[in-house]
Every structure is written in structure tokens, then in C-alpha cells.
Structure 1
Amino acid sequence: MPAVLDEVARLVTVAPLSRKGRVFRLVAPDGDAIVAALRPALDSQSFHARFTVEIAVVTTPWLAWLRQSPDIRNPLPREGAVKAVLSTMECGPDEIAACAAEVSAMLARALPEWLPLLDRSELWWRLREDGPLPGTCARVAVRAALAADAGDEPATRRDADAIERLDPASDFPDWVRAAIRNWPPPQDGDVK
């Protein structure tokens, strides 16, 4: 584990996110989450960290597709429905406090753009209306997953058909069509 990066993460504070290791999360009651993380670069070392600061909004329907599982615990930014790399940074042992302060400030500046997306209806509206998003997004696929979750069969089928025309080999259209009938997926302890 990169020791410098772990120390930076330990000192980062950004309300209302809570920290576990190098990952910071705010989870909504429906399981959707804002997730930020400090992700080490391949050449990062314990005594000199090179890392990216990533942020995402992770929705449970999109996460279920990516994981092919109803397990939605501990989402990561790379699993985001909307995601972004805020910065690439380097930090040595003498710069830990300054790096942590910079990351904290960066996340605090970014959160106002991301927090509204925790309201799934807001995210779905932006996807349907081609509204602004603070990061990258597979708009049609995420829109289809959210439509299936909401039980909107016509919208789900329209988007699934569009994806199938572009990528006939994709499993996603069949998965999302089935999700209309099967959502929500069973959770641990549910009677099957």
C-alpha cells in the first residue's frame, strides 16, 4: 500500500462524505451513492505517491448491470453512471498535509455539481433531456437502466433497441429488457 497516499487520504475531510481507506462515500437511502477516491498510479510508490482524484455518482441499477449481481455494497468511482477524474497529483512525504488540503478543497468545490445527481429523478431527467452532467456517461445505457428501474417499459425498450442496433453483440439490451420484469433484484435474505 502506498504509505504517502494512505496518509493523504487519512487527512482528507469533505463533508458529507465518509471515508473508508482511500474511498469517500455518501450513500442515499435507495443505495445510490456519490463516491470519490484517490487511485494510485501504476508507478506510485510508498514514499512518493502519484494518483488521480476520481468522483462519480453510482446508481444501483447501473451497478447491478456492471457487477451482474445484486450486491451493491462499496461502489467505486469506476462503476459510476457518471464519472470524472478531477486531477492527477503527486505527493512526497513532506507534502502530505498540503496534498490533503488540496484534495479536500477540490472535492468540496466539485460536490455542489454532483450532489443533485443523488436524486435519481434529477439524473434521469438530465439524461432524458440531454441536460448537463459534470462527467462522462454512457447516456443511453444509463437512461435505459434507470427507465427499467422505474418500470418505464417503452423508454427502456427504445433505448435497448438503439443500443442493439449499434452493438448487436452486446448483452446489455437483453439484460435491461429483463430488468423491467425482475427489478429490484433479490437482496441477501430475500425469499426467492
Structure 2
Amino acid sequence: MFFELIASFVAGLGAAGLVLALDRLTGRHIPRWIMPAAAGLAMVGYAIWSEYSWAPRTVAGLPDGVVEVERIEERKPWKPWTYAVPQATRLLAVDAGGAATHPAAPGLRLVTLYAFARWHPTRAIPQLVDCGRGARADVSDAALADPSTAAWRPLERGDGLLAAVCVTTAD
């Protein structure tokens, strides 16, 4: 967050410097209010770009085997432009490449679900995924010992978690 604040200031200074250079080249014919206006617009523009590019930059930085399964977009009243184009503020990704199976339960996968949120630390959430039933459950010692005791939650047929984790399952 601190680096983005510094980058915003640098964008403002850069825009002010461009206006200053143009003012000198035109023989000082540019109105004085243009420089602070350009600096302010550059800072706001950078902040908006940074907010909207956060999700694609985060996904691009994921390691091999970690797949985005859901992108949550929001509209905020203090950011009126999000009503025209909603902003992605949270992402869910799964480590599909690191999915573990057990010979006694071939339809079950043990995976790590990663929850990314803007300005918050990443959370790793262990999940059990039942590819045959199309359901998921939070991992606990009891659920690992006996998956039938887990609190299973059904997933929609086209859910990204099922698609990413159960691609090789013919259950």
C-alpha cells in the first residue's frame, strides 16, 4: 500500500513536470491551474488503474498449478465509476496441481484454496472436494479421519473449483 502511494505521488510529479516542460516550450502561455489539475488527474488515474489491474496482476503472478476459480467484483458508492465497471476486490484460487488423493477415496481431493483480497493478507484454506457428488467441505481432523462426518456444501455444476480440481476424475 505504501509503494502505491509513492507511485501515485510520482505520477503526479511526472504530470506536473510534463506540463511545466510544455509551458516552457510554449513561452509560458499555459494557464497556471493546468499544472495542479494535471498532477491531480494523474494521481487519480494511477489509483484507478492500480485498483482495476490488481486482479489480473495477481492472477499473472500465481505459480504453476494454482488456478483462479472465482473473481468477486463489487460496486462502491465512494467510487462511482464502479457502477459502470465493477471492480474485482477478491479472488479465489486453488492449488489444483497439488491436489492430494487417497486410494480408499479416489473421488475425494484435498486441496488448498487461496483467498486473495485487496489490501489484506492471503489466506490459505484447506478444503476437501468430492468430485463425484460435486461438494466441498472445510478440512478438520475429524473430516480427514472420516470424510462422511464433514459438513459438505454442494457446489454448482459449473463451479470453477470443481472444474479445476476434478478435471481428471471420471466419477
Which TM-score applies when normalising by structure 2?
0.28
The structure whose Rg is larger is: 2
Higher helix share: 1
Which TM-score applies when normalising by structure 1?
0.26
Higher strand share: 2
Q: Which has the higher contact order (CA 8 A, sep 6+)?
A: 1
